Structure 1
C-alpha cells in the first residue's frame, strides 16, 4: 500500500532554528537512556556471535594404555594416542556467519526504534512543559488585567457608578485564576519529573524552554510514507534471518567430514632381530558423519516456512496500525492548525470588545459583568490557542517519528 504523506518542510526549518534546546535534550536522552544502552549491548553481543560462528568443532584428543598388551609380529602395543578434527560441510561456516549477521541487524534496528521512540517521548513532554509555562504566563497577564479592573471598580464605587458586589466578583475571579495557576504549577512539576526521567537525570533539574512557538505558513511536499520505517524494516530483517537460518539448516543436513591420526608405540621383541622389530604404528584416518535420520532438518524447514508467514502477517498488521496512527496525526495536526487560527481571530475580537469597554468607562457607563465575561472569553481563547499549538507540535512529533523527517 503506497500513499502520499504531506510533510511541512518549512515547519521543520522553523523547528531547526527554534528548537536547538530540544535537540540537545534529545541527544542527552539518547546518551543516558538505560533502555538504549541495553539494546546497544544486545547488538554488540550479537556482533560477537558473528565471530563465534567461525569456530570449528572441538579437536578430540585421546590417550590410552593397554592393560593387557596385545602382541603383534613386531612387538607388544603399549598405548594408543589419537587426535581427531571434525569439519562441517563446505559453506556451512559461511552460512552460520550470514545467519548471525542477520540476527545482529535485527538487534541494531531495535536500537534505532528505541531512539526514535525516545525522541518522540522527549519532544511531546517538552511541548507539554512549554504549554504549561505559556498558560501560566497567560494567567499572570489576566490577573494583572483583573487588578486593573478592580481599581477601576473601586473608583466607580466611590462615584456611585458601580456596586461593591462588582469589586467582590472581580476579586473572586482573581482567586479562581490563582487556583488555576497553582494547579498548573503542580502539573508542571509532574511533567518536569517525567521529562527529566526520560533524560535519566534528577527529576527536579530545571528545564530551559524556547521563548515562543507559532504555526508558520508552509509549503507541502509529497514523500513516501512508511516504507523505510525501522519498525517495518525489522520485520524484513527478521524474514531475512529466517531465510538465512534455512540455508544454514540445509548445510547442516549434509555430512560432516573428520580427519584424524592414531599413534601406537610398540615395544621391541626380545631375542629377535628383524627390520620392523618394535616399529611404532602411525595410522591417518578419515571419517564421515552422515545424518541418516534427518527428520529434524525437515521439521526445521517447515518451521522456518511457517515463521516467515507469521512475520509477514505481523508486518502487515503493524503497517496498517502505523498508517492509521499517521492518518490520525495528519488529521489532528490540521485540526489543531484550524483551531489555532480560529482562536487567534476570536482573541482579536475579544480584545476589540475590551477596548470598547474601557472607552465606555471614560463615559461612566462601564458594566463590570461585561468586563468579567470578556475577560473569561479572552482567557478561554488564549488557553485554547496554547493547547492547539501544543497539539500541533505533538502531532508533528508523531509524524516525524513515522516518516523519519528530523
Structure 2
C-alpha cells in the first residue's frame, strides 16, 4: 500500500502543451471567445472603430447652400420698371479632389483605429490565458497537497504501529500530525486564492464573480521547442498602428493642400421688376435673372503653412514613437524567451530532484521493512518532495505565461 501511494504521489499534475492543446485547449478557447464577445473594453474599441468608419461617409459633404431674399423698401427705378425684391441662391464647391482627400483621410483614421481593436483583442486573450494558467497551477498545487496529506496519514498509521511495538516515539506521531496540519492550512489558503483568481477570470469574461471556472490540472512542458520568428514582431499591430497613423498624417497633409486651394461658387440672382404704366417699352417689366460665379482665394494662408509644418513634425514624432515601441517589444520578447527557457531548465531540474527523492523514499520504505525507519527522515524527504512538486508546478505555469507573451508578440 505504501508503494502504491508513493507512486501516486509522483504523478505529474501539469500537462499542457502548445502542440497538443486539444486536451484542454478547447476549454480555454471557449472562455476566450466568451471574453471577446462580452468584454466592455472590446465593445468600446469596436464602437470607436465603427465611429471612425462612419466618418468616411461624413467626409462627403459640401458647404451649406446660401439662400437670401430681400425686399426693396424704396424701389429703385430702371428703364424697364421698378425693382421690387431680390432673391439669391449660392453654392460654394471645394477645389477638385478635396472631397476625395477628406474621404481618404477618414479612411486612414479608421484603419488606424482598427489596429487598436486588434491590439485590444490580443491583450484580452493574454489576460484570459494567464489567469487561466494561474487557476490551473493553483488547482494542481491543491491536488499535490491533498495527496501529500493522504501520504502523511499513511505514515502516521505506520508510526502508531511502530510506537506500539517500541520502534518509534510518540513525538514522531505528533510531528507527522503537525505537518499534516500545516499542509491543510496551505491548501485552505490556496482555496481562497483560487476564489480570488476566479473572480478576476470571471471579470475578464464580464460575468458574475462567483461563477465556477472549470480548469484542467494535468499539465506538462512539451518536449519540442517551437521556433520563434522575431521577424513577425516587425509587423505586430502595436507597430503597424504607427504606420497607419503615419499614413493618416500624410492624408491629412494632402487634405490641407486641397483646402488651401481656391473654392468655386455658383449662384443665381432673381429680381422681379414692375411694369411701367407711363410708357410702352420693349422688355417693359421684364424680370432680371443673373447667373454668378464666385472664386474664394485664401490669400492669407499662414494657417495652411503652419498645418504643413505641424504634419511634418507629427510624422517625425510617429517615427520616433514606433522605434521606441519596437525596442520595448524586442526587450519584452527577449525577456519572455529567456524566462521561458529558464522555466524549462527549472522544470527539468525539479524532475531530476523528484526522481532522486523517490529513490530516497524507497530506501526508507525498505528500512521500515527491516524495522529501522526514521520518521524524521520521512518528514524531511516528504518536505523535499513537496517543495520539488510545487516548484515544478511554478515552472510549468511560468513556461506557459511566458508563452502567451511570446505568442502575443510573434503571432
Under TM normalisation by the shorter chain, which class is it?
over 0.9
- Aligned residue number for residue 244 of structure 2: 237
- Aligned residue number for residue 337 of structure 2: 330
Distance 1:12 1:381 in 2: 24
What's the secondary structure of 2:156's corresponding residue?
Answer: helix
RMSD (CA atoms) = 1.2
The 8 Å contact of residues 72 and 85 in structure 2, kept in 1 or not, is answered as yes
> Pick from 152, 155, 171: which aligns with 1:149?
155
Shift of 1:352: 1.4
Q: 219-228 or 316-325: which moved more?
A: 219-228
Is 1:379 aligned to 2:379, yes or no?
no
Distance 2:294 2:334 in 1: 63
Shift of 1:353: 1.1
- Aligned residue number for residue 261 of structure 1: 268
Is 1:133 aligned to 2:139, yes or no?
yes
1:98-121 Cα offsets, whole Å, 9 max, x none, are 000000011111110000000000
Shift of 1:16: 4.9
Distance 1:175 1:306 in 2: 67
Is 1:308 aligned to 2:322, yes or no?
no
Q: TM-score, normalised by structure 2?
A: 0.94
Q: 59-68 or 254-263: which moved more?
A: 59-68
> Pick from 390, 393, 396: which aligns with 2:400?
393
- Aligned residue number for residue 284 of structure 1: 291
- Aligned residue number for residue 4 of structure 1: none
Is 1:273 aligned to 2:276, yes or no?
no
Shift of 1:14: 1.5
- Aligned residue number for residue 163 of structure 1: 169
What's the secondary structure of 1:204's corresponding residue?
Answer: coil
Shift of 1:211: 4.3
The 8 Å contact of residues 140 and 217 in structure 2, kept in 1 or not, is answered as no
Query: Please, which runs of 5 or more residues in structure 1 have no aligned partner?
Result: 1-9
The 8 Å contact of residues 137 and 217 in structure 2, kept in 1 or not, is answered as no
Shift of 1:46: 0.7
Is 1:247 aligned to 2:227, yes or no?
no
The 8 Å contact of residues 11 and 218 in structure 1, kept in 2 or not, is answered as no
Distance 1:212 1:265 in 2: 93
Number of residue-to-residue matches in the alignment: 395
- Aligned residue number for residue 77 of structure 1: 83
Distance 2:119 2:142 in 1: 35
Q: 258-267 or 351-360: which moved more?
A: 351-360
Shift of 1:18: 3.4
> Pick from 18, 21, 28: which aligns with 1:12?
18
Shift of 1:351: 1.2
Q: Mark the CA change 1:330 to 1:27 in structure 2 (over 3 Å): closer, same or farther.
A: same
> Pick from 82, 92, 100: which aligns with 1:94?
100
- Aligned residue number for residue 189 of structure 1: 195
The 8 Å contact of residues 261 and 283 in structure 1, kept in 2 or not, is answered as yes
What's the secondary structure of 1:221's corresponding residue?
Answer: coil
- Aligned residue number for residue 10 of structure 2: none
Distance 1:203 1:132 in 2: 17
1:23-49 Cα offsets, whole Å, 9 max, x none, are 111111111110110111111111111
Query: Please, which runs of 5 or more residues in structure 2 have no aligned partner?
Result: 1-15
Distance 1:206 1:56 in 2: 57
Q: TM-score, normalised by structure 1?
A: 0.95
1:151-176 Cα offsets, whole Å, 9 max, x none, are 00000000111010000000000010
